[in-house]
Amino acid sequence: MTSDPKLTIGFPRMYNEPGERRAFLPPLAGLLGDLGVDVFVEAGSGAGMGYGDDAYRAASPRVRIVDEATAYAQDIVVVLRAPEGRYDLLRRGAILLSMLHFGTRPERVELLRGLGIEAVALDMVTGDDGRRLVQNLRDVARNGLASAFEALERRWPPLLSPSRPAVSVTILGAGGVGKHAIEWAARCGDDERNRRFIEEGLPGVEVVIVEQNLAGNEAYFRHRLALTDILVDATARRDTSRPLFPNAWLCWLPDHAIVCDLAVDPYLPDDDPPVVRGIEGIPQGNLDRWEFAPDDPAWDRLPPGVPTTCRRTVVSCYSWPGVRPEPCMELYGAQLTPLLKTLVWYGGLPAISPGVSFHGRALWRGSLRHFLGEDPAS
- Three-state SS string over 127-148 comes to CCCCCECCCCHHHHHHHHHHHH
**Counted domains in the chain:** 2
Q: Which domain holds residue 119?
A: 8-124+324-371
Q: What is the pLDDT of residue 5?
A: 56
Is residue 167 domain-shared with residue 305, that is, in the same domain?
Answer: yes
Cβ-count burial of 184 within 10 angstroms (0-12 exposed, 13-18 middle, 19+ buried)?
buried
Q: Cβ contacts of residue 216 below 8 Å, gap of 6+? A: none
Instruction: Indicate whether 141 and 235 sit together in one domain.
Output: yes
- Residue 1 is predicted with a pLDDT of 46
My answer on whether 255 and 172 are in the same domain is: yes
The pLDDT tens digits of the residues spanning 143-194 come to: 999 999 999 999 999 999 999 999 999 999 999 899 999 999 999 999 999 9
Residue 89, φ and ψ in degrees, nearest 5: -80, -20
Asked whether residue 132 is domain-assigned, the answer is no
Residues 198-249 pLDDT 10s: 999 999 999 999 988 888 899 999 999 999 999 999 998 888 888 988 999 9
Q: E strand or H helix at 114, and its extent? A: helix 106-115
pLDDT attached to residue 6: 81
Statement to judge: residues 92 and 224 lie in one domain: no
352 and 291 within one domain: no
Across the range 349-356, mean pLDDT stands at 82
Q: What is the DSSP letter of 8?
A: E
**Chain-wide mean pLDDT for the chain?**
93
The verdict on 141 and 278 lying in the same domain is yes
pLDDT at 13: 97
Beta strands in 100-204 (DSSP E): 118-121, 167-172
Domain identity same for 156 and 301: yes
Query: pLDDT per residue over 70-120, tens digit each?
Result: 999 999 999 999 999 999 999 999 999 999 999 888 899 999 999 999 999
- Assign 275 a pLDDT band (cuts: 50, 70, 90): confident
Q: Do residues 161 and 144 both lie within one domain?
A: yes
pLDDT band at 375 (very low <50, low <70, confident <90, very high): low
CATH number for position 282: 3.40.50
Q: What is the pTM of this model?
A: 0.86
- For residue 348, the model assigns a pLDDT of 87
Q: How far is the C-alpha of 233 from the C-alpha of 264, rounded, in Å?
A: 8
